[in-house]
Structure 1
Amino acid sequence: MSGADGQQRYEADVVVIGGGPAGAWAAISARARGASVILADKGFCGTSGATAPSGTGLWYVPPDPAQREHARFGRYAMGGHLAEHVWMERVLEQTWQNAHQLAEWGYPFPEDASGVAQRTSLQGPEYMRLLRKQVKSAGARILDHSPVLELLVDDTGHVAGVRGLHSDTQESWVARAGAVIIATGGCAFLSRALGCNVLTGDGLLMAAEVGAELSGMEFSNAYGLGAAISSVTKSLFYNWATFYYEDGTPVPGAGSSRGRGVIAETLRTQPVYACVDKADEQTQTWMRGAQPNFFLPFDRLGLDPFTQRFKVALRLEGTVRGTGGLRLVDESCATGVPGLYAAGDAATRELICGGFTGGGSHNAAWACSSGFWAGAGAADFSHQHRASTRRPLLHAGTVGLNTTGLRRWDAEQVIREVQAEVWPTERNWTRRADLLEESLIRLDALWARLGQSAPAEGGRATVRAREAAAMLATSRWMYRSALARKESRGMARRQEYREADAAQRHRLLSGGLDEVWTRPEAVREAVQVELPGQTQGAAHDALQSQGVARAIA
């Protein structure tokens, strides 16, 4: 219904911001706990975001102790020994359960020659179409093309709703809620990587505005490799490629384990070409079936990537393939701000990946698991605080929403200025203190200027202003954290400190808006964890009875 101020008004126990896999699982899980749910997506739930247009691996490992142990240690050292085994085990078990639930819902997992279902990968279009269907079947309300602009709080500081915009009608809307889940994905700085046009760090900014902390923001310099003519940065197929200089001679080391760095260094002075010339005919057939969108740009141009060379590019994917995000304070994926939860790429993945991840696999497992836990946690919180849900709502949004300044600022110009600091590999692939400090001087000054000025008013201009502000805030957290980590660990590489320092085996928390801060946090050693407020058996009964995969303590 519409209020006296003309805003469309909604009410629910839980509001989920973001319609990717984490948001969809959160909505399904919250409904299974008996909560009323609104899911608001900037795009169209089921087609927007990084998962929807692509295939993705899934960290799916049978419950065999030896296989699970091998899976936990697979990337532990690569991530700088910052992951926690108890969280990895939780995710492995929840992903196992959720994959079986997908099969029961009808996801078409392929079978091997023996008829055994292969559940180690998902096709984005089918996966997200199925999740949208299940969100609706569960009884959640979906608001498509309805970007959230800010969180709303009550006079005690509890997050108690959101305010957004319906893009099609340009009508403002408000939703009152007992709890809110941030599932807005990571920040790829509008680098034109496939599916990342909606991933601008909005949720990180909104959460920081109410006092949430971040973790691992130094692990944000992930670049996706792809053809220069394409937005597809799924790089598996380049394992069968040879990389060349313009004159046709191979680039030494470009196909090795350190190849991404070699390519980054070479691209600073000259183009690099690739040809997927190591794939035999059978592999080529498999590739076209596994990732058809990889080939679309080539087919449109009549270019055969298996026999003809093409230019490659590196596109910054930031925290989408990095591991930084909102800090979680317990197993329900709470952020520490009452009533606020986080899931998927918006939440730190250090708990299972440490300082290194990549595309798919762990990310996909984290999305479905953390989304599931956040939905249950938010539903329980909402049920426990029903008496406080009638308090007046207060605005929490800051930069991009204020209209008190005399001067106006151009969101597109702000975006270009941020990209100039974070896109170049010479600044962000392997970092150096003087370049980080130079960038921070400019980025901090830009933030101060925005805080004293007003953006263009109304509608889509306000959405864009908030995206610009979110990208700017994200860049400052990640560079301040990168400066504080005086070593190389995971994907955080420093030119002055080429090795890991045993004394710095800790996480780096960050936060703040006008003044960005960082501080270390110890990595917890293995402890037993349970879903708050319930025994494992009670959690199993509550969720399994409603046909949804159980929460794993």
Structure 2
Amino acid sequence: MPQPQRSASDSLHLQADVLVLGGGPSAAWAAVAAAESGAKVVLADKGYLGTSGATAPSNTGTWCVPPGENRHAVIERRWQRTGELADQRWMLRCVDTAYQNLLKLSEWGYPFPSEDDGRLYIANLRGPDYMRFMRRCVLMAGVTVLDHHPALELLSDGDAIVGAAGLARQAGHDWRVDANAVVLATGGCAFRERILGGTGLTGDGYLMAAEAGASLSGMEFTGKYTLAPHGSSLNKGLPFRWASFYREDGLPILGPTGEPLRNGIGERENEVARALIEGPVYARLDQAEPALQDWLRQGQPNCFVPYDRAGVDPFAELFRITLRAEGTVRGTGGIDIVSDDCATGVPGLYVAGDAASREIITGAVSGGGAVNSSWALASGWWAGKGASIHAKRRGGGKAFRREVRSLGQAGLRPAASPRADIEASEVIEAVRKEVTPLDRNFFRSGEGLGKSSERLESVWRDVRDHLQGEGADRIRTREAASIAAAGRWSVAAALSRAESRGMHRRTDLPGKSQAFAHRLVITGVDDFRIDGAPERFKEPESWELVS
């Protein structure tokens, strides 16, 4: 195991072959994969490995497709829904590796339920049990786990990423891990929206990767919202498949063809969103038969906690609802992947799970739930293996160069003089006003996006030049900088995609254009460029990509 060293300032200093940043399923799988490959591994989580992230508080299905000829048909059907942006080879790789890892879970002793015929039902994972089990697997693999150790920045020796540094939240001291490879499994960005497991999902990995020279893609696909009881954080929309919807005056909300709206899932969310922009909306799950009601309560018990607490029978009584923005958690965007081992194009830096762009498997639509769950199983495994191979090539942790450069800038090292009047909370709220309202982000327009972009650029300038935290406040300022960067990239990409595709809905450009049947890749932090976008949105050619 890596041996800790203490400096004069009492900060924690470790050395390892592979450092994994994050605490969700992809981080756990990456750590296990790297350790099984013979690497010395450290995992540093912002929270507590096993309870942090979007999976831990939820039940989740998986994209479970057993081997056989039917796989290609399943993938083809799914690809037809991706807006032509997914890659069927990656989709096949994902279902194959995810299936093998589900079998590994069974071999390791995960308590899958049995079907009526006695076979194990491996297509569903109970979040709390799954993540508690994965924590045990990580520890049994010999990984050193640093709970409550948020990473603030990556470290570079000029040629490659060689570790990361951060703050031990509970102990109050700094930490640093020298490593020959780093896996970013830090999750997506929920823009501080109140959703299950979303508090710590602030896009930290995006900013760290971009500062190192990595690119991002799919950042325009943040228009995923999920129906939820008003006032709750429960972003589990499945029961609304059997709902009826009403305005505050009791009149039913009408569907596209004029009939009362039933089932608020999928494209029908558009009608609910339009009604919510106009005023309060109510629902009742009255389309569910009694047997189905029992099945829903048994299969999705956490979905009914808000109703039970409020003393409401959702199958018989009206209750107020809302649409919760889910950013890139159930959106698509993230760090761009350049090879089969989930490398980012920056030597020594790998990415997995929601921190990565999922365009290659979900395209322009959400992979929320099953597909993202299988992606975490697969990409974590690939990234852990890839990082381990890279680490061995770099010397297996036997020698580390002491001359390293800390890459963190915004929120840590302002470009100009710090200003006490710029608060992290105010930065986050300013970003939220541009990226969460239904009339700005669910339904988009060129004019609205242009105004949001101008406002976010102003926010970013303040963050870049003047936002700085001291001590534990660095966590908050860094999170604010990450949220500001993610919001800025998201709006810029949405403005560049001059069409409607998937969850990117332009009211001024409602049709899909073949000219945009490709990914938009963002490179850079302060001055960034969008490759593949129309010429008028590109930055000057003097801007150079850091490789």
Please tell me whether the aligned partners of residues 149 and 162 of structure 1 are also in contact (alpha carbons under 8 angstroms): yes
Structure 2 partner of 1:327: 336
Task: Compare 90-99 and 496-505 and name the one that shifted more.
Answer: 496-505
Please tell me whether the aligned partners of residues 152 and 394 of structure 1 are also in contact (alpha carbons under 8 angstroms): yes
2:123 counterpart letter in structure 1: T
- Any residues of structure 2 matched to 1:241-320 within 5 Å, and which? 241-253=243-255, 254-255=261-262, 257-320=266-329
Aligned match for 1:402, one of 395, 410, 413: 413
CA distance in 2, matches of 1:456, 1:84: 42
Question: Unpaired runs of 5+ in structure 2?
Answer: 256-260, 534-547
Task: Compare 333-342 and 264-273 and name the one that shifted more.
Answer: 264-273
Aligned match for 1:196, one of 195, 198, 205: 198
CA distance in 2, matches of 1:52, 1:74: 29
CA distance in 2, matches of 1:39, 1:290: 32
Q: Identity over the aligned pairs, expressed in percent?
A: 46
CA distance in 2, matches of 1:388, 1:495: 56
Structure 2 partner of 1:19: 23
1:267 counterpart letter in structure 2: L
* Deviation (angstroms), 1:406: 4.0
TM-score, structure 2 length as denominator? 0.92
CA distance in 2, matches of 1:447, 1:516: 13
Aligned match for 1:30, one of 11, 28, 34: 34
Aligned match for 2:122, one of 114, 119, 122: 119
Structure 1 partner of 2:82: 79
Structure 1 partner of 2:55: 51
Aligned length, in residue pairs: 518
Q: Secondary structure at the match of 1:46?
A: coil
1:18 counterpart letter in structure 2: G
TM-score, structure 1 length as denominator? 0.91
Structure 2 partner of 1:152: 155
Structure 2 partner of 1:416: 429
Superposition RMSD in Å: 1.4
- Any residues of structure 2 matched to 1:107-506 within 5 Å, and which? 107-156=110-159, 158-253=160-255, 254-255=261-262, 257-386=266-395, 389-402=400-413, 405-408=417-420, 409-459=422-472, 461-506=473-518
Please tell me whether the aligned partners of residues 155 and 391 of structure 1 are also in contact (alpha carbons under 8 angstroms): no
Please tell me whether the aligned partners of residues 418 and 468 of structure 2 are also in contact (alpha carbons under 8 angstroms): no
Please tell me whether the aligned partners of residues 468 and 477 of structure 2 are also in contact (alpha carbons under 8 angstroms): yes
CA distance in 2, matches of 1:380, 1:337: 15
CA distance in 2, matches of 1:323, 1:406: 34
* Deviation (angstroms), 1:249: 2.6
1:263 counterpart letter in structure 2: V
Structure 2 partner of 1:543: none
1:270 counterpart letter in structure 2: G
CA distance in 1, matches of 2:373, 2:418: 45
Task: Compare 33-42 and 240-249 and name the one that shifted more.
Answer: 240-249
Task: Compare 18-27 and 255-264 and name the one that shifted more.
Answer: 255-264
Question: Unpaired runs of 5+ in structure 1?
Answer: 522-553
Please give the per-residue CA displacement for 1:23-77, whole angstroms capped at 9, x wherever unaligned: 0000000001100111111111101110000011100011121x21232123322
Task: Compare 386-395 and 1-10 and name the one that shifted more.
Answer: 386-395
CA distance in 2, matches of 1:42, 1:304: 37
Q: Secondary structure at the match of 1:320?
A: coil
Please give the per-residue CA displacement for 1:266-301, whole angstroms capped at 9, x wherever unaligned: 111111111111222222222122221111121112
1:190 counterpart letter in structure 2: R
Please give the per-residue CA displacement for 1:332-391, whole angstroms capped at 9, x wherever unaligned: 000000000000011011111111124211100101100000000000000001277324
Q: Secondary structure at the match of 1:203?
A: helix
- Any residues of structure 2 matched to 1:59-70 within 5 Å, and which? 59-65=63-69, 67-70=70-73
Q: Secondary structure at the match of 2:522?
A: strand
* Deviation (angstroms), 1:307: 1.0
1:402 counterpart letter in structure 2: R
Please tell me whether the aligned partners of residues 20 and 43 of structure 2 are also in contact (alpha carbons under 8 angstroms): yes
Please give the per-residue CA displacement for 1:311-334, whole angstroms capped at 9, x wherever unaligned: 111111011111111111100000
Q: Secondary structure at the match of 2:329?
A: helix
Structure 1 partner of 2:545: none
Aligned match for 1:102, one of 102, 105, 109: 105
Structure 1 partner of 2:8: 4
Please tell me whether the aligned partners of residues 480 and 517 of structure 1 are also in contact (alpha carbons under 8 angstroms): no
CA distance in 2, matches of 1:436, 1:247: 33
* Deviation (angstroms), 1:455: 2.2
Please tell me whether the aligned partners of residues 16 and 180 of structure 1 are also in contact (alpha carbons under 8 angstroms): yes
* Deviation (angstroms), 1:507: 0.7
Task: Compare 288-297 and 384-393 and name the one that shifted more.
Answer: 384-393
Please tell me whether the aligned partners of residues 79 and 88 of structure 2 are also in contact (alpha carbons under 8 angstroms): no
* Deviation (angstroms), 1:108: 2.0
* Deviation (angstroms), 1:494: 1.2
Please tell me whether the aligned partners of residues 477 and 511 of structure 1 are also in contact (alpha carbons under 8 angstroms): no
CA distance in 2, matches of 1:451, 1:218: 22
Q: Secondary structure at the match of 1:258?
A: helix
Q: Secondary structure at the match of 2:79?
A: coil
Please tell me whether the aligned partners of residues 22 and 183 of structure 1 are also in contact (alpha carbons under 8 angstroms): yes
Please give the per-residue CA displacement for 1:241-278, whole angstroms capped at 9, x wherever unaligned: 11111232321124354221111111111111111112
Q: Secondary structure at the match of 1:117?
A: coil
CA distance in 1, matches of 2:468, 2:238: 41
CA distance in 1, matches of 2:399, 2:64: 41
CA distance in 1, matches of 2:437, 2:223: 10
Task: Compare 224-233 and 12-21 and name the one that shifted more.
Answer: 224-233
CA distance in 2, matches of 1:29, 1:149: 24
CA distance in 2, matches of 1:395, 1:78: 42
Please tell me whether the aligned partners of residues 469 and 476 of structure 2 are also in contact (alpha carbons under 8 angstroms): no
Please tell me whether the aligned partners of residues 110 and 118 of structure 1 are also in contact (alpha carbons under 8 angstroms): yes
CA distance in 2, matches of 1:456, 1:94: 42
CA distance in 2, matches of 1:325, 1:456: 26
CA distance in 1, matches of 2:391, 2:358: 25
